[in-house]
Structure 1
């Protein structure tokens, strides 16, 4: 879990110097915006169940990304494989 300090004027941080901000306030703001939109049809969620909904909402994109990387790797392997000739 990374943070930015708004009181110091920090809204994004490039931690490894590659020009890409790994820590960015917009990431969390975007997450909450999507979460609110997703929860809107489920009006009346109890506080006891809210952690389960949050966990599911976080889990789905993570699995989607892992599945995409796995598929990319398998396709790359398939496309670069040279069949053995006898």
Structure 2
């Protein structure tokens, strides 16, 4: 889960069925929040779990929407796509990673996103996490 302008929280789940995703979603978010999602079937229960659910219909060519017509497209998930894109590009050359090691890669990318430092400056926050 990713809060726009905030931190990302990654948890590797066994699968993405509704029964599996409900607990982490409910623990990490507050009822009444907006949940920006795609049309994936597992998200269809979110309104019943107390979330407002604006989504884009990629199947109809919709990728962003300005619901209140103020010129700002509130309904999109570009923030999440921007987070996953470098992770996928970084993992692609490995042609698969073991299920046991994937949480380490995800944790690294979570840390890099959340400290918001790139290059050599990233070393200190990583070392502080390792020795903490």
**Structure with greater strand share of residues:** 1
TM-score where L is the length of structure 1: 0.45
**Structure with greater helix share of residues:** 1
TM-score where L is the length of structure 2: 0.34
> RCO greater where, 1 or 2, for CA within 8 Å and sep 6 or more?
2
Which structure's CA Rg is the greater one?
Answer: 1
